[in-house]
Amino acid sequence: METTPSREAPRAPHPPLERPTSLLGPALGAGVTMGPSLVLDLAWASAMTAVMLGGRPRSRLLRVVTSVASLMPWSWLLLRPWMLYWGASAEEVTRALPGDGLVPNPVGGSTRAVTIHARPEDVWPWLVQLGYGRGGWYSYDVLEQAAGAARFVEGHSADHVLPQLQGLKVGDVIPMSRWTGMQVVELEPARALVLRSAIDDEAPAWGMSSWAFVLEPVGEGRTRLLVRGRAGADPRRWVARALGQLIELPHFVMERKMLLGLKARAERASPFSC
């Protein structure tokens, strides 16, 4: 079984964040990240416009597409709570978690969870090596590559605990991509890792956000991993609110896969795995 390396393990330098020399790279990344949501929104808007104008497409396929698209808002209302709180119980969603104070009045957020058949101390090494230029995201590497967030130490999301990445400490910056990162503001081994979007108290243009990973033992050899994200963009800035809505769906897809990927890796090395 792989165990947490000693504190004396050498630390790998964190890749410095770059300032984009052009808007092409960030624009491509944003397009991959928010493109699917934007396409769905445009399909719904087109369908609603056609309905309001009283038009009826001649093509049967277009009529079916228009009908389905017009139902999207109702489907979204039903699916969105499941998506935002995937895997989490009602008690976990409403309970205070480490990092909540960073964004005390969030305008958006999510709480997701998964049960891992491994001890918190065996899950922790996989958690602290997350990141661009580090161990990866344990998610869909192809999509991360397309979004410009897939330069990893092993060339893909790590399948091993990497000793050089275990020395994470408060104040370190975990890169999200070449241009963005989040700073570690709380770190309690085998318990909690809390990140914030503000680096050295300088918040990005889209506002303050937090990302907390909390490990809780639930019986012998089992761990509950809770992941909570909170966004605190100024509600008067409609662009920030719109971007927050567009990111919800792709973020759910990637974060869900990340939780399952982390679970699979930790359980593979655990004697408590079923």
**What is the tally of structural domains in the chain?**
2
What is the spatial distance between Cα 49 and Cα 55, in angstroms, rounded to a whole number? 9
User: What is the chain's mean pLDDT, rounded?
Assistant: 79
pLDDT tens by residue, 209-262: 999 999 999 988 999 999 999 988 665 565 566 666 667 888 898 999 999 999
Residues 54, 168 share a domain: no
**Nearest-CA neighbor of 230 among 92, 108, 84?**
108
Q: Which of 70, 94, 116 is the last residue of a domain?
A: 70
The pTM of the full predicted model, rounded to 2 decimals, is 0.77
- Higher-confidence position of 245 and 31: 245
Q: Is the pLDDT of residue 177 over 60?
A: yes
pLDDT tens by residue, 136-150: 999 988 888 777 777
Q: What is the pLDDT of residue 149?
A: 72
Residues 43, 176 share a domain: no
Q: Considering the domain boundaries, does residue 252 fall inside one?
A: yes
Q: What is the pLDDT of residue 11?
A: 47
- Higher-confidence position of 66 and 166: 166
Q: Quickly state the pLDDT bin for 6 (edges 50, 70, 90).
A: very low
- Structural domain including 181 reads 81-268
Residue 131 near residue 149, CB atoms below 8 Å? no
Residues 248, 221 share a domain: yes
Q: Considering the domain boundaries, does residue 5 fall inside one?
A: no
CATH of the domain at 86: 3.30.530.20
Q: Considering the domain boundaries, does residue 156 fall inside one?
A: yes
* Gap between the terminal Cα atoms of the chain: 15
Residues 120, 42 share a domain: no
Residues 87, 47 share a domain: no
Residues 132, 210 share a domain: yes
Q: Considering the domain boundaries, does residue 112 fall inside one?
A: yes
